Amino acid sequence: VAISGRREFRSSPGWWMGRRSEKIKNRKSASERLRTKIYARCGKMITTAVKSGGPDPTTNKALANALDFARSNSVPKDNIERAIERASNKDQADFKEGMFETYGHGGAGILIQVLTDNSNRAAAEIRGVLNKHQLKIASAGSVSFNFDRRGILTIPDAVVKDGEEFMLAAIEAGAEECEPTEEPDEKDETIIKRVWSIQTLPEDLFNVKQCLEDAGYQADSASLEMVPKTFSDCAEEEYDSNLKAIELLEDLDDVDGVAHNMRLIESD
């Protein structure tokens, strides 16, 4: 069910790291890999925010948002404190954002977001994976034009007693879209759980989250993700080849996340 009256964005089980296809929901390692990647992303965000605006979240909006993102994703307190301490070290290099746009098998568009303190290392490692799996570097803008940056909130279905009432609350909070979906349980990916997925404008993410939590809807997670506008249909062999490359890319320390617009063609 999409919210009407505002821009509509359809969700899919494959938009971004963690929003994976049915084919890999049963891989128990995926949840742990995702958690590790999120913890690393939070640490980099906190370090970058502190270095640019200081360690006080009351005067540093970027840090306040980074801390909120970390807490929303259950990042341990020790990890947060280490990231703040690391930022105070004058020898700690600044983290810089970057993006690689690539074409996968079957014409799929793949975006590789980077947050690194060593751009040369990041580029070399990413190109190594792309070359090994025969993915092609695309020109700037040729892939990213098909993606929108969106805030994504996940609300467990257990806290939603009335779906219509919840959707109205989401609209009032400023959500762009609200719909029920399914995703693998973090502790056991063989279990599929029902959740509510909410999309927001990037700048509205934490305001919408706070409004919903004030109304009694506690979020499981909150993140900024790249959501495809259109999808590329891929045969099973093409899909699997792309997924292998994506998983290797996600394992790289400098890669912050990988988005794609693949959609598996169901075989008869």
Question: What pLDDT tens digit does each residue of the chain (268 aa) get?
Answer: 333 333 333 333 333 333 344 444 434 455 666 778 788 888 888 988 888 888 899 999 889 888 988 887 888 999 898 888 888 777 777 888 899 999 999 999 999 999 898 999 999 999 999 999 999 999 999 999 999 999 999 999 999 999 999 999 999 999 999 999 987 766 666 778 889 999 999 999 989 999 999 999 999 888 889 999 999 999 999 999 999 999 999 999 999 889 999 999 876 5
Closest-CA residue to 146 (of 1, 266, 259, 31): 259
Closest among 239, 198, 229 to 72, alpha carbons compared: 198
| 186, burial (CB in 10 Å: exposed 0-12, middle 13-18, buried 19+) | middle
Tokens 């799996």, residue?
Answer: 133
- Within 8 A by CB and 6+ apart from 226, the residues are 15, 16, 111, 113, 144, 147, 148, 149, 150, 257, 259
What is the rounded CA–CA span in Å between residue 34 and residue 16? 11
Q: Which two tokens stand for residue 14?
A: 């494959």
